[in-house]
């Protein structure tokens, strides 16, 4: 607590931050289906370098990208059928990671292999398991409901953020920054003091904010065929573990009583402790065949989420460059969802560490 003011708190010690070990024992997004092709590509995921490509049968292969001989990146080698030949001394690895050939030996050592990561493709997403492969249960892939439904067409984009993934999750749980960071798109001044509710359910944290009879923010005024100049808006955002936050936004045009719903899915994969892959989808139940609406949503949300990226990167730089060791961030009641999420991730990291002891 800060002095005798109970409404100001320091962040709890058991709240995840940049230095918290990453949680390996979860499914994460390795990429969108359309990113992964026959041509091998490398991508850092959870502090590991991974080689990704499609085998001849179309299945996605994910292998350790570091050659076990002299650490040459296998992505710089060449592909022969479904195998990868290292570009330094020619060690060859099959799609299951087993070494098939060492040019200086008659036959490769039987125990020589690189890691092969479990992968599940649920278009348009490819999921990867970076933890113990014996615990890779596809039933634990976070649900991402209408991503394939023609009734919910979507737009999507990607950003790489030079900031820690927990900070991005906090940004997504935080419905109090719209007015200030996104004043030209999804925020309006009157939204700053509307009701905020937070519910916690095991690993999940759900935040809900409702506003009644307010003017529409610019992005929605520009995108929706609103009849009147006042809307009700209900926004929810749900932390579903380290890899996914999903949100909904329901707008009711008070003049026509027409409801418009958007689902906003945020897929988050730590690249390293200080950098993050961020894939997002905005799905809608309105204007399903209208290209103009899709274009406006893509442009509007790309620029809105770019504001978040810039804010998170500025915060990260502040933490890196300001050497004050006694600086303690203060929190308020409205920050509860973010703190709950941080505590949830910290608990997962602690549980993983103790299971390895
Ligand atoms: S570094 Fe790959 S074969 Fe030598
Ligand atoms: Fe934001």
Chain CA centroid to CA 193, Å: 28
DSSP string computed for 274-327: S-EEEEEEEEESSSTT-HHHHHHHHHHHHHHHHHHHHHHHHHHHHHHH---TT-
Task: Select from 273, 249, 274 the least CA-distant residue to 263.
Answer: 249
Q: Which atom of ligand 1 is nearest to the CA of 89?
A: 3
CA distance 62 to 30: 9
Which pLDDT score is estimated for 161? 98
Which ligand 1 atom minimizes the distance to the CA of 67? Answer: 2
Residue closest by Cα to atom 1 of ligand 1:
70
Instruction: Provide the CB-side half-sphere exposure for 112 (13 A, CA).
Output: 15
CB-based contact 224:260 (threshold 8 Å):
yes
Cβ–ligand 1 contact at 114 (below 6 Å): no
Tell me which of 88, 108, 113 to substitute to probe ligand 1's pocket, judged by most ligand atoms within 8 Å of the beta carbon.
88
Ligand minimally distant from the alpha carbon of residue 92:
1
Considering every ligand atom, which ligand is closest to the CA of 72? 1
> Does residue 86 line the site of ligand 1, with CB under 6 A?
yes
The response to whether residue 69 sits with its C-beta less than 6 Å from ligand 1 reads yes
Report long-range pairs for 225-233 (Cβ below 8 Å, ≥24 apart). 226/253, 226/255, 226/256, 227/253, 227/255, 227/256, 227/258, 228/253, 228/254, 228/255, 228/256, 229/255, 230/254, 230/255
Mutate to test the pocket of ligand 1, among 69, 74, 97, 105 (most ligand atoms within 8 A of CB): 69
pLDDT for 3: 41
**pLDDT tens per residue, the chain (357 residues)?**
334 465 777 666 689 999 999 999 999 999 999 999 999 999 999 999 999 999 999 999 999 999 999 999 999 999 999 999 999 999 999 999 999 999 999 999 999 999 999 999 999 999 999 999 999 999 999 887 678 888 999 999 999 999 999 999 999 999 999 999 998 888 888 877 777 888 888 778 999 999 999 999 999 999 999 999 999 999 999 999 999 999 999 999 999 999 999 999 999 999 999 999 999 999 999 999 999 999 999 999 999 999 999 999 999 999 999 989 899 999 998 899 999 999 999 999 999 999 876
The finding on whether 168 has its CB within 6 A of some atom of ligand 1 is no
Q: How far apart are the C-alpha atoms of 49 and 128, rounded to whole Å?
A: 13
pLDDT value at residue 2: 39
How far is ligand 2, taken at its centre, from the CA of residue 108, in Å? Answer: 52
CA 213 / ligand 2 centre spacing (Å): 22
Of 72, 76, 84, 112, the one to substitute when testing ligand 1's pocket (max ligand atoms within 8 A of C-beta) is 72
**How far apart, in whole angstroms, are the C-alpha atoms of residue 225 and residue 223?**
7
């Amino acid at each position: 607590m800060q002095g005798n003011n109970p409404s100001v708190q320091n962040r709890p010690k058991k709240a995840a931050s940049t230095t918290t070990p990453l949680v390996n024992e979860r499914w994460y997004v390795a990429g969108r289906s359309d990113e992964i092709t026959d041509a091998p590509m490398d991508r850092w995921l959870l502090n590991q370098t991974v080689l990704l490509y499609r085998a001849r049968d179309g299945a996605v292969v994910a292998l350790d990208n570091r050659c076990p001989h002299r650490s040459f990146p296998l992505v710089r080698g060449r592909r022969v059928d479904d195998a990868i030949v290292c570009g330094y001394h020619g060690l060859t690895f099959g799609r299951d990671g087993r070494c098939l050939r060492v040019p200086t030996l008659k036959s490769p050592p039987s125990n020589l292999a690189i890691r092969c990561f479990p992968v599940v493709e649920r278009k348009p997403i490819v999921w990867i398991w970076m933890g113990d492969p014996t615990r890779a249960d596809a039933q634990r892939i976070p649900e991402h409901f209408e991503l394939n439904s023609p009734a919910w067409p979507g737009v999507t984009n990607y950003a790489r953020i030079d900031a820690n993934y927990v900070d991005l999750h906090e940004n997504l749980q935080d419905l109090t920054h719209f007015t200030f960071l996104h004043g030209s798109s999804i925020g309006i001044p009157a939204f700053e003091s509307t009701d905020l509710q937070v519910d916690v359910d095991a690993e999940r944290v759900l935040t809900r904010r409702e506003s009644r009879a307010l003017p529409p923010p610019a992005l929605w005024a520009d995108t929706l065929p609103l009849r009147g100049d006042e809307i009700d808006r209900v926004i929810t955002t749900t932390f579903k573990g380290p890899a996914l936050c999903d949100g909904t936004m329901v707008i009711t045009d008070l003049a026509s009583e027409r409801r418009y719903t958007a689902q906003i899915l945020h897929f988050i994969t730590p690249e390293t402790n200080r950098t993050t892959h961020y894939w997002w989808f905005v799905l809608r139940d309105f204007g399903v065949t209208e290209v103009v609406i899709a274009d406006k949503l893509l442009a509007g949300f790309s620029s809105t989420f770019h504001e978040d990226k810039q804010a998170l990167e500025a915060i990260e730089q502040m933490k890196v460059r300001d050497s004050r060791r006694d600086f303690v961030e203060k929190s308020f009641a409205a920050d509860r969802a973010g703190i709950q999420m941080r505590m949830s991730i910290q608990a997962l990291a602690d549980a993983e560490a103790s299971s390895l002891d």
